Amino acid sequence: MNANREFILNAEENTRRQIIAKHVSNGVNIPCADGVIIADGCEIGAGTVILPNTIILGKTKIGCGCTVGPCSMLEGCTVGNNSTVNASQCENSVIGNGVSVGPFSHLRPHTVLADNVRAGNFVEVKNSNIGQKTSISHLSYIGDSDVGEGVNIGCGCATANYDGTKKFRTRIGNRVFVGCHTCMVAPVALGDGSYTAAGSVITDTVPEGTMAIARSRQIIKRKVRKYNES
């Protein structure tokens, strides 16, 4: 049994090396092949860099001049030219040209990132369309949403897309500024050029060019118990 396992391991390693060698001969830069697994049938453009511990599965297609990895996994994805996927996982998604993903992001199935989108660290996107030059820089969840162009989504934002029974979509127009820690309770729409104040829970339509503030007023208590550092 151990001999059989060793034979299989050696066979798989030979196949892995052959696939890597084929891509290198086609102009792909793989400076260190440690942990790099590329499924047969994947397409990678010339000038793209594949860094260690990167796994590329399914019929993934990656354009030219990209950087993928380290520690990334792409399965069934299409990636345009000059994009970066750093320490992230992407499944059955479309990534445009000049896109930056990660580190530590997760693109779940049916996500489309248009050209020059940024999905920064600890961002999760699922079943959503994100327009050109939109930035989701950090610590946010965007699910079942249609987001326009030039949108800025602040830190700690989320779309509340599931009520326990059904899922609903959030629609965000162009050039919208979503303040930090905004929760958008779907189904809800934010019009073009609108704003949300930080810490808001948005439950109704935000008209074009307006600002929504949905949070309780701060209250200051004059007498409080003394803070004990110990």
110 in catalytic set:
no
128 closest CA partner among 107, 106, 141, 112: 112
Contacts 24+ apart (CB under 8 A), 144-150: 144/168, 144/169, 144/170, 144/186, 145/169, 145/170, 145/171, 145/172, 145/186, 146/170, 146/171, 146/172, 147/172, 148/172, 148/173, 148/174, 148/175, 148/176, 148/192, 149/114, 149/174, 149/175, 150/174, 150/175
**H or E stretch covering 89:** strand 89-91
The answer for residues whose C-beta is within 8 angstroms of residue 4's C-beta and 6 or more apart is: none
Q: With the C-alpha atoms ordered 83, 148, 139, 177, is the resulting torsion angle positive or negative?
A: positive
Q: What are phi and psi for residue 25, nearest 5 degrees?
A: -65, -20
**What SS3 state is found at 7?**
helix
CA 110 to mean position of chain CA atoms: 12
- Active-site position among 23, 106, 110, 138: 138
Is the N-terminal amide bond of 70 cis, ω within 30° of 0? yes
Instruction: Please identify every residue annotated as catalytic.
Output: 138
